[in-house]
Chains A and B, each alone.
Chain A
């Protein structure tokens, strides 16, 4: 029996996913939708490339026969993977589990629940297990000596739903998930101006990418692609500087892999200080301009 991995391109998430699959010990059959099959072929035993422009219904129809008979199907936690996984599990007669941070040889998946306040180990009652994982936090698979042959299939087009427009708000080369330094703002920033005039120049000085809490995104101050947390991006930077963010468990759920969390918050009791390595209790409006001055001098 094989482990099927599903990829929408090749990136750090794909490497982590292949690593997770490899450690389960069975043959790894990678299915690639779109580009990246050649890269994946250096890690997997078998590769099938589906030639299509993603759309959920035809993609699902194409995946079902490729996954039939698998012991487990692994996906990353991107939009398309999360959209398809439960339906794929249903059609295969299996069960899906999402947002896994660990998977063992009995196919038990560990995941955060209750907004990151607890963790659960979920055991499958059906087969196959279809799991979407925080793939970037898994160690990559070793490269194989041989390169797998790529089988190419086409997905049938006709569907009741079709994507008629796509808009990229973020640059592919500037992925928040891959950022080494992140400056993130919350509701306490008070408006879009604070992000533009205070945080953005600070981020520039630190070579950081910008992020935000759900509250700041819902207020419309910054785009939804900036949201970090349980239902936003899962990030793993060396430094995460949280400014005017309380540190609700749902926000922390997205930064559990950050090496160093630093906080600027006016409230000494804010939960963020229970997770941060260092921080300052002060109004960010006073701290940030001074901080920029100091950092500029230290350059």
Chain B
């Protein structure tokens, strides 16, 4: 079984709000001193694939991004993916829209071989589009299941458990299929061993350019007209009192006040 996991490198989403700036002309976040990290849901996807991995399975990781995205792929190899491929994006290109990203990933997937299972994260922690997996499925003319957290095999059939707002659903799926992955307690990404991190740096990496894939670099899905930081901080009243008892008393009263009308 051939499994492809699509992974995106993004600006660290845990940068605190007070250090976050935007470049209003380029309409994207300023890099500042923030580090680049792998999108968490992509790591959840790889972790899900690693736990599922049937004996004969080969896991390939694929990223479309600037040269720095190699770090994302090396880390994935250290987590024990079998092979990695990078589609190089110009360093100063505008952020890729999800249709463009899906076209690039689809073209690369076709070049890399045939896949029975293609995983993406549910969304990327930068623009949070939440579309690339679904659009990739359309580009490849494949069915798609969203928000999954567990994969298993049962009598030669793929089973996909996915979350809903009220619980979960279990799918039986024919392959090939695209599945987008969300977080749960079982797919928290593993920390690679130091030795594997070192080995990963010596593993080969397949590289493509957009020209080699025959995909245009244009974004033609939608346009970001404005990007701004909303002002929404409010002054917080820290309950006062000489003793804990007094403070909690004020807290209790305030809680009752704001719920009094209910």
Neighbouring A residues of B168 by C-beta, 8 Å: 166-167, 169
Pick from B122, B221, B236, B244: contact of A276, CB below 8 A.
B236
Q: Are A282's CB and B144's CB within 8 A? A: no
Within 8 A of A (CB), among B226-259: 226-230, 232-234, 236-239, 244-245, 247-249, 251-256, 258-259
Say if the beta carbon of A219 comes within 8 Å of chain B: yes
* Cα of A180 to Cα of B259 in the assembled complex, Å: 8
Say if the beta carbon of A181 comes within 8 Å of chain B: yes
Known contacts A79-B163, A122-B222, A290 near B185 by CB under 8 Å: no
Known contacts A218-B185, A276-B236, A294-B249, A117 near B258 by CB under 8 Å: no
Known contacts A56-B145, A166-B167, A217-B185, A262 near B29 by CB under 8 Å: no
What is the distance, in angstroms, from B257's C-beta to the closest C-beta of chain A? 9
Quick one: which of B16, B245, B252, B256 has the most chain A CB within 10 A? B252
Chain A residue total in the interface (Cβ 8 A): 92
Say if the beta carbon of B92 comes within 8 Å of chain A: no
* Cα of A87 to Cα of B143 in the assembled complex, Å: 10
Neighbouring A residues of B76 by C-beta, 8 Å: none
* Cα of A239 to Cα of B256 in the assembled complex, Å: 10
Known contacts A163-B171, A165-B169, A166-B169, A280 near B147 by CB under 8 Å: no
Pick from A56, A231, A262, A280: contact of B248, CB below 8 A.
A280
- Among residues of A, the one whose C-beta sits closest to the C-beta of B241 is A280
Say if the beta carbon of A193 comes within 8 Å of chain B: no
Pick from A163, A238, A268, A280: contact of B258, CB below 8 A.
A238
Pick from A111, A168, A286: contact of B166, CB below 8 A.
A168
* Cα of A181 to Cα of B260 in the assembled complex, Å: 11
What is the distance, in angstroms, from B75's C-beta to the closest C-beta of chain A? 19
Say if the beta carbon of A146 comes within 8 Å of chain B: no
Within 8 A of A (CB), among B118-164: 122-123, 125-131, 134-135, 137-138, 143-147, 149, 160, 162-164
Neighbouring B residues of A274 by C-beta, 8 Å: 17, 233-234, 236
Neighbouring B residues of A124 by C-beta, 8 Å: 222-223
- Among residues of B, the one whose C-beta sits closest to the C-beta of A296 is B252
Known contacts A169-B167, A218-B188, A238-B258, A290 near B248 by CB under 8 Å: yes
Say if the beta carbon of A120 comes within 8 Å of chain B: yes
Q: Are B29's CB and A114's CB within 8 A? A: yes
Say if the beta carbon of B94 comes within 8 Å of chain A: no
Which segment of B78-86, B176-184, B190-198 sits at the interface? B176-184
Say if the beta carbon of B165 comes within 8 Å of chain A: yes
Neighbouring A residues of B138 by C-beta, 8 Å: 86-87, 90-91
What sequence of 0s and 1s flags, for each residue 269-293 of chain A, a beta carbon within 8 Å of any chain B beta carbon? 0010111111111100011001100
* Cα of A218 to Cα of B233 in the assembled complex, Å: 28
Q: Are A218's CB and B183's CB within 8 A? A: yes
Pick from B14, B233, B262: contact of A275, CB below 8 A.
B233
* Cα of A264 to Cα of B256 in the assembled complex, Å: 16
* Cα of A32 to Cα of B88 in the assembled complex, Å: 43
Neighbouring B residues of A259 by C-beta, 8 Å: 258
20 cross-chain CB contacts under 8 A = A56-B145, A86-B138, A115-B13, A118-B228, A119-B229, A161-B143, A161-B145, A161-B171, A167-B169, A172-B166, A180-B262, A214-B183, A217-B184, A217-B185, A224-B163, A231-B182, A273-B238, A280-B239, A290-B244, A294-B249
Q: A79-B162, A86-B138 are in contact. List 5 more A-B contacts (CB 8 A).
A: A86-B135, A87-B134, A115-B125, A170-B167, A277-B237
